[in-house]
Structure 1
Amino acid sequence: MTSDWNPVFKRAESGQEDEVLAVLDETAAWLAARGVQQWPARFERAWIEPAVARGETWLVEVEGKVAATVTLDWSDPLWEEDGDAGYVHRMAVRRWAAGLGGRVLGWAGDVARAEGRAYLRLDCVASNRRLRAYYESAGFAHRGDMTVGGAPGQRESSGPVTLVSRYELALAP
């Protein structure tokens, strides 16, 4: 039961990209099997390496096993009001740890608040109604939809185009 778990958040280091990719790919396959077009079938190493190198990607362990991954950074070109928020990207939880997502979001909010940020922001594919409802039930407010290009988590001017919904959570001081 996730309420009994004591997750440990560890910064992913160079050499742990395969662990990050394993969680992302497992989650992507689970989504695809349910007809959800959130992520590609497989993530490319090049998509996550920069965030790992910058120290923005985390592995979440439960009982000594990798249960989740999340990237938390301090800017995102999808938001014009940059600088006052933490941004959650590529949050994925292994199926055996289902229910851990709320703890990961809570941790991200705590880290952002400790960094003096007023908001926690994230986005998801606009057509993913279940995930949108999940974020809204967690207190995130919808802040509009935007079209983005590039691979998941990238903000490119070229490549595949996806409509995403932006969400924001005000962090209490």
Structure 2
Amino acid sequence: MKKLLLVTALAALAAPVFAQTAFTVNGQTVSVADQQELMKVLADRGVKDQKQQLEAARSILAQEKLIEEAAKKANIAQDPAVKALIAERQTEIYSAELVRKNAAAHPLTDADLKKTYEEVKKQYDPNEIKVRHILVKTEQEAKDIIKSLNAGGDFATIAKEKSLDQGTAAQGGEIPFTNIRRIAIP
């Protein structure tokens, strides 16, 4: 029993043994705690060899320090566009982590997936239609276009010339196939 306790205690201490010293990068200290924390993350991501964990952690942390230092010198953190990007990435990270934790806490069963699939399937209309349109600003323009069409005008040509919707005008007013159940035309 004593041997088992000794082996267990040694195994628990093995990971911290590898990261026992802090190091500096251009005068910035990388702590043992930071190294150990990243080593745990790397272990969770599949890097099982502790020497590889330590080497990767030190390399990553050193690179982070160098980039952080260069960014401070360039005053990048004060740029409004950079602030917006940081906030956006932070929100993405928080969102992904919340989804991951929720999925782990509430795993889906095959029955849940099948039930959701059947509910979505009921809402889906398999009959797709192809629609073309010509977007104009005034009712009078629309009436003039209708007269041209009734007189034999080419829809695609008129759409290219007259439509305000540049995204569909180039395709003759054509909107990709859709399964809209109904289109309300006054």
TM range (shorter): under 0.3
Report the structure, 1 or 2, having the larger helix content.
2
Q: Normalized per residue, which structure has more strand? A: 1
TM-score of the superposition, structure 2-length normalised?
0.22
After TM superposition, the score normalised by the length of structure 1 is: 0.23
